[in-house]
Amino acid sequence: MQLSVEPLAGPVDEAPRVVVEDVRPGRDVLLTIQTTDANGNRWRSRTELSGAAGTAESTGLADPSQPWWRMEFASEGVAPVAFAAPPDALAYDVTVESGSERLALTVSRQWCSQVERRAVSGEGYQLTSFTPLVGPGPWPGVVVVPGSTGAAAVEPMAALLASHGCAAAVLAYAGEPGLPPTVEAIPIEALAEGVRAFAAMPPVDGARLAVIASSAGTGGALSALATFEDLAPRCVVAIAPTSVVWQALGSGGPPPRASSWALGGEPLPWVPVHGEPSAQVIEHKLLERFPHHPTPRALHMHEAFAKGLSDEGAVAAAAIPVERIDAPLLLLTGEDDRLWPSASMARAILARRRRDDDRHLTYPAAGHFLRPPITPTTVPWTDTYVSGGEPAGNAAAQAQGWIAIRSFFDTHLA
């Protein structure tokens, strides 16, 4: 047999092509792919390839990317948790077996290629920027605002955007050294200052600026963009967005009686989270006494947020004035979002704005966390929250959503 993988080193949003030649007649090929993610967890997939014609290749599958996103959690002795991407690259071991023959190669899948990384701090924020090293610049800029899972979860997205020709920066506002530990009373002025600081960086074309925010980060990002007209992005992407400011969740147990966001030292009006998750937290603490059966500790939060949206008075008071944002919005949601009702909140955003150039793309069988493709989607929860969706649905949403985001930026940042 002969094994080739093309490319041996390439961007993670393109599925490598696996080709096995000189397969003995009548034999199929077992393709095994393994990697270790940024948190040190092992992942593995096994896929049968037909070798009937003497050649077996991944392009013969209905979805050639399936061996890469179908990888399952393979670490032992720990509870499964969602795949953690790095901001640079991962090595994937590709092995093929047919009869007694076995061949192997190592593939590098990259989030970051020919990109410079820098860190800048300001009052209440931290920026991690990624700038292309190829070409003269200045580059269109994309500010990436993370959700409650923190900056590390979206650094791979920023790095990949930079690899495709944008200057990108993750704007952290909580959960990092020197910043508040949780999303509680975060001043939206800090987000505005972070956007301004990034737009003023020499490699960035401040006149061609976009913002992409995820989950809880959309509450602060949309509030800041609606408040500070000088930020003036060309376009905005909101992944699993909120249409209101929510009660802060804290770090465990009953949520604090406080708003997630503040302006001028005063809390923004907020919608209470009903059905406090304290019972789930207590249950998880009890389970921790029995570590010989590792169990996921992720919280189911959808019902708590859905009940909050039934309080019409609180929702009206805490609604984000998104109509003040003078830029087209692209909203991406999963219909099976188990964290909060992002699809219905996205529809509320559109109804409030009434702009013809806004778009809402919602994906069936997809959950809350929509990352760049093509990475494992078989564990739909983090160590904190259940995301929802099915592996194939999440993989399709990530692939289609990533294409939509890049097309949206190509249109509005040209």
The model's pLDDT over 301-345, given as tens digits with 9 standing for 90+, comes to: 999 999 999 999 999 999 999 999 999 999 999 999 999 999 999
pTM of the model: 0.93
Q: What is the C-alpha to C-alpha distance for residues 350 and 366, in angstroms, rounded to an integer?
A: 20
Q: What is the C-alpha to C-alpha distance for residues 17 and 122, in angstroms, rounded to an integer?
A: 44
What is the pLDDT, as a whole number, of residue 269?
A: 99
Domain limits, the chain: 2-110, 115-412
Architecture of the domain spanning 115-412: 3-Layer(aba) Sandwich (3.40)
Tokens of 136: 């003269």
Model confidence pLDDT, tens digit, residues 121-172:
999 999 999 999 988 889 999 999 999 899 999 999 999 999 999 999 999 9
Q: What is the C-alpha to C-alpha distance for residues 102 and 366, in angstroms, rounded to an integer?
A: 36
Q: pLDDT-based confidence at 278, cuts 50/70/90?
A: very low
Burial (Cβ within 10 Å: 0-12, 13-18, ≥19) of residue 281: middle
Q: How far is CA 224 from CA 145, 266, 353, in A?
A: 12, 14, 16
Q: Which segment of 62-71, 196-205, 290-299 scores lowest on mean pLDDT?
A: 290-299
Fold for the domain defined by 2-110: Immunoglobulin-like (2.60.40)
